[in-house]
Structure 1
Amino acid sequence: MALQVRPYCDELEDIVKELSHKAWILFKYNQDFGHQIMSCVFNEDDQLVGVGYLRHGIADDHDIFEIEMPTNEFASNRMNEVREALFPYFIKTCHKLRKLNKKTKLVAWNDFWGDRTFCERIGFSPYQTYYIAKRSLDKPLPEVSAPAGVQVMFNPMESKEERVKYTKLENQFYQGVVYRSVNMLEWMMGGPELHTVSAFDGDELVGSVMCWQTGAVERLFVIPRWRNKGLGKLLISKAFEYHTKNGRYEVDTIVNEQNKEAMLLLEKMGYFFPVRLELKSVDI
């Protein structure tokens, strides 16, 4: 018998939660996924072996849907079958959610979970390249002075208006698979730890960075008129201080290889780039 694919429903909540806490919590609490489809893959013994769903991104001239396909030990010898079973559902979901006036790309990391041949056979080709950047916090933290006229502080974003403004500004600097909605931001803020450090010129948000309990330092941005004044370095150093105070010994982030300015800034702040990730895409 072949693997069977069924749509997610409330009765499957507990077994999906066991397989992937992230998938379960996304579909339970993030409003972006209220209209989404999660496909659940079962083997001949009616055991859940994997789930598949898409994350929406956006770029200037096209929409992006990123494949998520968590699996468990029951799928270890049948990954190609899981891919074959889920791929038609990914295509179906793309057609359901895509905007008809824009091009659409389906994208995947790691050669669709480790099978370059499968990716190439169904038409995937290189799209973007990223690096995982790391830095040890055992190394001395840099001394960075605050530029005159700016205040840097924890940003709780307590009101809906603040969260909407933050998301609109942030997304001017991040397009593609790292696009973020207000729903996504609010979902993350409901988790155990998201610490946002922001810079303000009076009441105006001019830069920011986010910290996670995993040691991540991510989503750094500085508006153009405040660049080349040391503000990016200051925000990163404040993130380092936060993680150090919370007992972490290493920080990491993901950076697009095309963003040479960000790569250089991270290098100056003591990061190295041990892992190169290739994102592949196919046009829908």
Structure 2
Amino acid sequence: MSLQVHPYCSELEEAVKSLSHKAWILFKYNKDYDHQRMSCVFNEDGNLICVGYLRHGIADDHDVFEIEMPTNELASNRMDEIRMALFPTFIDTCQKLRNPNKKTKLVAWNDFYGNGDFCKEKGFIPYQTYYKAQRSLERPLPEIRMPVGVDVQYHPMEYKEERINYTELENQFFQGVVYRSVNMLEWMMGGPELHTISAFEGDELVGSVMCWQTGAVERLFVIPRWRNKGLAKFLIAKGFEYHIKNGRNEVETLVNEQNKEAMKLLESMGYSFPVKLELKALDI
């Protein structure tokens, strides 16, 4: 017998929750996934061993669908079979969800969950390169003053209008697989910890950074007229302070290799770049 692939349904909720809490809450609570299908892979004994779905993003001239394939221990020796079983459903989902007026790319990190040959065979080519930037908080921290003219504070975004404004501004600086909708932001805000620190000039949002319980200091952006004034460094430093207060001794973020300005900024704040991650893409 071979592996069986079935679409997600409410009867599978507990099994999916046990395999991947992230996948379960995405499809249960994030409205971005209302129109999408999650594929559930079962072994010959009827046990769920993997779920597959796509994360939708946008870039300047194309749509991006990022492959997600969380598994459990029962899948460890069967990844080749799982890839073969799920790949047609990924292609089918891309075709159904894509904007017919734009190019579409199906993307996978590094080697498609352990098999570079599979990527090559299916026609994936290099798309983007990222580095995982890391910094120990046990090392001395820089002393950076808040620039004159802004107020930096915790930003709970309690009202819908605030969340819409934040998302519209943020997406001017982040595109591709890291694209975020208001639905995605609201979903993340419902989790155990998302701490957003923002800078305001009067009532205008001019910069921000997000902190996660994982130790992430990410999604940093500063509008052009406030750059080169120390605001980005101050926001990062406030992120350091937040994580130290919560007992963490290391922070990390992802940075695109092409974003030399961001890499230089992170390096100046004491980050190193020990891990290189490659995103491969297939034109649909």
- Give the TM-score band, short-chain normalised: over 0.9
Once the two structures are TM-superposed, the CA of residue 141 in structure 1 deviates from its matched residue by 1.3
Indicate yes or no: 2:17 matched with 1:17.
Answer: yes
CA distance in 2, matches of 1:182, 1:78: 37
The aligned amino acid for 1:182 is: V
Q: Could you report, residue by residue, the CA deviation over 1:135-192 in whole angstroms, capped at 9, with x for unpaired residues?
A: 0000111100111101100001010000000000000000001000000000000011
Q: Which deviations, in whole Å up to 9, do the C-alpha atoms of 1:4-62 show, x marking residues without a partner?
A: 10000000000111110100010001010111100000111111110100000000100
Equivalent position of 1:51 in the other structure: 51
Map 1:42-191 → 2, pairs under 5 A: 42-191=42-191
- Structure 2: 5+ residue runs without aligned partners? none
**Aligned position for 1:7:** 7
Where do 1:181-220 residues align within 5 Å?
Answer: 181-220=181-220
Alignment identity in percent? 77
Moved over 2 A (4+): none
What one-letter code is carried by the residue in structure 1 that aligns with 2:212? W
Residue type of the alignment partner of 1:25: I
Partner residue, 1:246 = 246
Name the aligned partner's letter for residue 138 of structure 2: D
Q: Which residue of 2 aligns with 1:29?
A: 29
CA distance, structure 2, for counterparts of residue 73 and residue 250 of structure 1 = 29
- Cα distance between partner residues in 2 of 1:117 and 1:104: 22
Instruction: Give the Cα separation in 1 of the matches to 2:274 and 2:206.
Output: 31
Tell me which amino acid in the other structure corresponds to 2:22: K
User: Match for 1:277: what amino acid?
Assistant: L
Gaps of at least 5 residues in structure 1 are none
Report Cα offsets for 1:168-217 as digits up to 9, x if no partner.
00000000010000000000000111000000011000000000011000
**Which amino acid in 1 is paired with 2:145?**
S
For residues 213 and 77 of structure 2, the distance between their equivalents in structure 1, rounded to whole angstroms, comes to: 33
Normalised by the size of structure 1, how large is the TM-score?
A: 0.99
For residue 174 of structure 2, what is the amino acid of its counterpart?
Y
C-alpha RMSD of matched pairs (Å): 0.5
TM-score by length of 2: 0.99
Q: Deviation at 1:110? A: 2.2
Per-residue CA deviation, residues 212-263 of structure 1 (Å, 9 max, x unaligned), is: 0110001000000000000000000000000001110000000000000000
Question: Aligned letter for 1:19?
Answer: L
Q: Are 1:271 and 2:274 matched, yes or no?
A: no
Amino acid at match of 2:163: R
Letter in 1 for 2:89: Y
Partner amino acid, structure 2, of 1:192: P
What whole-Å deviation, never above 9, does each CA across 1:250-284 have from its counterpart, x for those lacking one?
00000000000000000000000010000000000
- 2:111 is paired with a residue whose SS is helix
Specify the SS of the correspondent of 1:114: coil
Amino acid of the residue matched to residue 161 of structure 2?
A: E
* Partner in structure 2 of residue 39 of structure 1: 39
